[in-house]
Amino acid sequence: MTAEPVLLRERIGDILIATLNRPRKGNSINNELMASLGDLAGELHQQAGEPGAPRALILTGSGDRAFSAGADINNLVGLTKRNAVEQMRTGQIFFDMLEDAPQVVIAAINGVALGGGLELAMACDLRVASPNAKLGQPEITLANIPGWGGTQRLPRLIGEGRALELILTGEPVDAAEAHRLGLVNTVAENPLAAAVDLADRILTRSAYAVDRAKQAVYTGVRHGIGRGLEAEAALVGECSTSPEQRAAVQAFFDRKKTAPAGKEPR
């Protein structure tokens, strides 16, 4: 009997839903699943702009208990220093690829997102969590630290003080607190449906502009406001000469011509 894939895929229109599929292991990320995530990230970059390619990706977990409980501990046993560094760099590179994808990437957090699971969710552009979700970086309880971007993305999202508290205590927060901190964008009873709705709203916007907006934000986050402002200006220049932007401006003026007196078009 053929084993089920560790990463399931489903298309809903322009949205690709990828489901971490190791429910008996809390959808923990082993080497096979990490490789599948890397393949997926690579495809997003290669297919961008092609006819029929997905314009949004939603990541979620199989079952109703876990988005991902983190790295599979079995893959961490007996690691040499060199092996550990290589394993962490591989995950960091793949998660960076997801973050840098031209498409909008949304995490539908349907349960616990711990350790590497939270690091994966933070590599997404947006996060929607179920009310029963728990989010945290418990690596310190195993005498280690986050290695797939947690020490960098968590402070970026919630500030250094609270990030250090979560990292140094290893204690998780519930969905309501995660929302208050800005770690998740919204809490919804059905996070996958809410993520699809959010993606649909973004898909009404220019795909070209969505990609450039992501580039501008992440350039500033990674390299500081000076580089970010330079990138922002350059990317506005790119958008200003795109057929989509010119069509949108013309449509605005066309609506303005036909709008009743005293009412501005939206």
Question: Is 119 annotated as catalytic?
Answer: yes
Residue 257: pLDDT band with limits 50, 70, 90 = confident
CA dihedral 40, 195, 115, 67 (to 10 degrees): -90
* Tokens, residue 263: 């009412």
Average pLDDT over residues 116-133: 98
Q: What is the pLDDT of residue 98?
A: 98
Location of each CATH 3.90.226.10 domain in the chain: 7-203
At residue 178, the pLDDT reads: 98
Average pLDDT over residues 170-179: 98
Tell me the DSSP string of 185-211: SEE-SSHHHHHHHHHHHHHTS-HHHHH
Predicted confidence (pLDDT) per residue in 214-256, tens digit: 999 999 999 999 999 999 999 999 999 888 888 887 777 777 6
**pLDDT of residue 266 exceeding 70:** no
Output the average pLDDT for the chain.
94
CA distance 151 to 258: 53
What is the pLDDT, as a whole number, of residue 254? 73
Of the candidates 4, 86, 139, 160, the residue annotated as catalytic is 139
pTM for this structure?
A: 0.93
Residue ranges, CATH 1.10.12, the chain: 207-258
pLDDT at 263 over 80: no
- Pick the catalytic residue from 119, 160, 165, 244: 119
CATH of domain 207-258: 1.10.12
Strand partners, 12: 15
Q: What HEC string does 162-179 produce?
A: HHHHHHHHCCCEEHHHHH
Which CATH number is 7-203 given?
3.90.226.10
pLDDT tens figures, 33-67: 999 999 999 999 999 889 999 999 999 999 989 99
For position 12, what pLDDT does the model report?
96
Assess whether 230 carries a catalytic annotation. Answer: no
The predicted model gives 139-159 an average pLDDT of 97
Report whether pLDDT(180) > 60.
Answer: yes
Q: What's the pLDDT score for residue 245?
A: 82
Q: Is the pLDDT of residue 260 over 90?
A: no
Confidence of residue 3 (pLDDT cuts 50, 70, 90): confident
Q: In what order do the strands lie in the sheet with 7-12?
A: 7-12, 15-20, 56-61, 104-109, 126-129, 186-187
Residue range 182-207, pLDDT digits in tens: 999 999 999 999 999 999 999 999 99
Looking at the chain, the whole-number percentage of residues with pLDDT higher than 90 is 85
| pLDDT value, residue 212 | 95
Q: Max CA-CA distance within the chain? A: 74
